[in-house]
């Protein structure tokens, strides 16, 4: 037990330093633009951590993030830089709207069918990325971002022309009651158990199966993977497909697992940036499924808390910038040792 701790000590400290730099960076930005960072941060944490509803809301915010974070993490573990969770979440949310809002099915089956359908359409949206990568060598960063934009316009089109809510054209058809997950409290639903279940399942696939071993070997040592005969095309398709399943599920969470709207808006306001914030979640969670659960809760707190900063005039998207600063800090492998050498004065 002590051995595990000392092994984990360095990454945990590194992550905490990065988070601290993120907060300092956010504070500097607030000072530059003449806001009071202390009041803002106090408001952020008071609103989230000091009330039951605040904790529920933070967890509700964490649910889609742990899934989009998982998408990015599986990519990194397999050696790919998958930033397609954004678009795949739009498509998953749209898939959920189609099945949950416009088709009636018996209770129980409806929830299950919608969940699975959203995952599958999310994963299908990743197929062009895999095909372009496997057979044409197209870099996944460019292809995924292009597909994110195509997904955005496709979903807006589908909402405007086919799936708008009559009388409220600014949003899509809400999920029928039979397709909704049960509310636990505030806007947290039992969907969180589905998300955690999916993460645990992914952990088992990655660390307890041959397939998962091949994925991780390709990520950590591509030459060795090639030498032992791992099928490159299979790995490409598999990692983006699992990522797509997770991202599709993240999209669905906003439709069938998130009151009070139970749907998406035509602006996609409640799905936008889920994928990009997931990158931060994955990196803070060290690209490990269980780390991601914790980091998504951390970012969920920040995102929900940002609305309390908004009362002070600070734009809530500052949290995205803080997330970005944390990611920048985490990109520096020697940050920890530099700080230890120069500031703490250790050996």
Partner 1 sequence: MKISRKLRFLIIGFPSFIMFLCLLSVLGVEPIHILETTFMAMTPLMLAAVGESINERSGVVNIGLEGIFLITAVTGVYYAEVTGSGLGGILIGGALVGALIGFFFGFISSYGKAVQVIAGMGLNLVGLGLVPFMMMAFWAFPGIHIFDPDLKIGTLNIQIGKEIFRLSPITIFAVAITIFLHILLYRTLIGLRIQAAGERPEALDVAGINVNLTRVLASTLCGSLTGIGGAFMPLGWFGGLVKEITAGRGFIALAAAVFSGLDPILAAVSSFIFGFSEGLAFTIMITPTIKEVIPHYFINMIPYIVTIIALAIVGSKRFPKALGKPYIRE
What is the binding site for partner 1 (CB under 8 A)?
Answer: 29, 33-35, 81, 83, 128, 132, 136-139, 141-143, 145-150, 153-154, 156-157, 160-161, 273, 276-277, 279-280, 283, 313-315, 317-335
Question: How far is residue 69's CA from residue 280's CA, in Å, rounded to a whole number?
Answer: 7
Closest distance between partner 1 and the C-beta of residue 122, in Å?
Answer: 18
Closest distance between partner 1 and the C-beta of residue 272, in Å?
Answer: 10
User: Judged by CB, which is closer to partner 1: 235, or 322?
Assistant: 322
User: Judged by CB, which is closer to partner 1: 206, or 314?
Assistant: 314
Show Cβ contacts of residue 93 under 8 Å, excluding neighbours closer than 6 positions: 118, 155, 251, 252, 254, 255, 264, 268, 271
Closest distance between partner 1 and the C-beta of residue 312, in Å?
Answer: 11
User: Judged by CB, which is closer to partner 1: 156, or 213?
Assistant: 156
Closest distance between partner 1 and the C-beta of residue 116, in Å?
Answer: 27
Q: At what angle do helices 274-284 and 2-32 cross, to 10 degrees?
A: 140
Alpha-helical (H) ranges within the chain are 2-32, 37-49, 52-78, 85-102, 109-124, 127-136, 140-158, 191-208, 210-220, 222-227, 232-256, 274-284, 289-310, 318-330, 335-339
User: Judged by CB, which is closer to partner 1: 25, or 259?
Assistant: 25
Closest distance between partner 1 and the C-beta of residue 321, in Å?
Answer: 3
User: Judged by CB, which is closer to partner 1: 84, or 95?
Assistant: 84
| Separation in Å, CA 267 to CA 95, 99, 146, 155, 167 | 16, 20, 18, 10, 17
Question: How far is residue 323's CA from residue 282's CA, in Å, rounded to a whole number?
Answer: 11
Closest distance between partner 1 and the C-beta of residue 63, in Å?
Answer: 20
User: Judged by CB, which is closer to partner 1: 116, or 150?
Assistant: 150
Neighbours of 49 (CB within 10 A): 12
Show Cβ contacts of residue 173 under 8 Å, excluding neighbours closer than 6 positions: 97, 101, 102, 163, 164, 165, 263
Closest distance between partner 1 and the C-beta of residue 9, in Å?
Answer: 21
User: Judged by CB, which is closer to partner 1: 48, or 273?
Assistant: 273
Closest distance between partner 1 and the C-beta of residue 273, in Å?
Answer: 7
User: Judged by CB, which is closer to partner 1: 88, or 277?
Assistant: 277
| Separation in Å, CA 110 to CA 91, 181, 279 | 19, 10, 31
Structure tokens at 305: 């808390």
User: Judged by CB, which is closer to partner 1: 68, or 115?
Assistant: 68
Structure tokens at 333: 């492998």
Closest distance between partner 1 and the C-beta of residue 267, in Å?
Answer: 10
Is there a contact between 11 and 286 (Cβ–Cβ < 8 Å)? Answer: yes
Q: At what angle do helices 2-32 and 37-49 cross, to 10 degrees?
A: 130
């Amino acid at each position: 037990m002590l051995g595990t701790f000392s092994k984990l000590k360095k990454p945990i400290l590194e992550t905490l330093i990065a988070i601290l730099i993120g907060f300092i960076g956010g504070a500097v930005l607030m000072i530059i633009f003449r806001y009071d960072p202390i009041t803002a941060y106090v408001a952020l944490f008071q609103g989230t951590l000091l009330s039951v509803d605040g904790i529920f809301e933070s967890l509700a915010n964490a649910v889609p993030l742990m899934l989009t974070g998982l998408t990015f993490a599986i990519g990194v573990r397999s050696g790919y830089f998958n930033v397609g969770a954004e678009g795949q979440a739009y498509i998953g949310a749209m898939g959920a709207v189609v099945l949950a809002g416009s088709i009636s099915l018996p209770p129980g089956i409806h929830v299950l069918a919608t969940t699975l359908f959203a995952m599958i359409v999310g994963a299908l949206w990743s197929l062009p990325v895999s095909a372009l990568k496997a057979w044409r060598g197209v870099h996944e960063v460019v292809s995924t971002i292009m597909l994110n934009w195509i997904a955005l316009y496709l979903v807006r089109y589908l909402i405007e022309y086919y799936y708008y809510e009559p009388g409220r054209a600014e949003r899509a058809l809400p999920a029928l009651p039979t397709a909704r997950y049960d509310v636990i409290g505030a806007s947290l639903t039992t969907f969180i158990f589905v998300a955690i279940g999916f993460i645990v399942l992914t952990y088992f696939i990655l660390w307890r199966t041959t397939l998962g071993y091949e994925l991780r070997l390709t990520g950590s040592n591509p030459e060795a993977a090639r030498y032992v005969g791992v099928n490159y095309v299979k790995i490409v398709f598999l990692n983006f497909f699992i990522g797509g399943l997770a991202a599709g599920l993240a999209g669905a969470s906003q439709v069938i697992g998130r009151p009070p709207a139970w749907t998406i808006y035509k602006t996609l306001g409640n799905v936008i940036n889920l994928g990009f914030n997931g990158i931060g979640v994955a990196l803070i969670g060290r690209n490990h499924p269980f780390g991601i659960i914790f980091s998504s809760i951390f970012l969920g707190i920040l995102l929900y808390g940002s609305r309390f900063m908004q009362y002070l005039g600070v734009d809530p998207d500052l949290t995205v910038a803080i997330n970005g600063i944390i990611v920048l800090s985490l990109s520096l492998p020697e940050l920890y040792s530099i700080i230890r050498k120069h500031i703490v004065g250790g050996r």
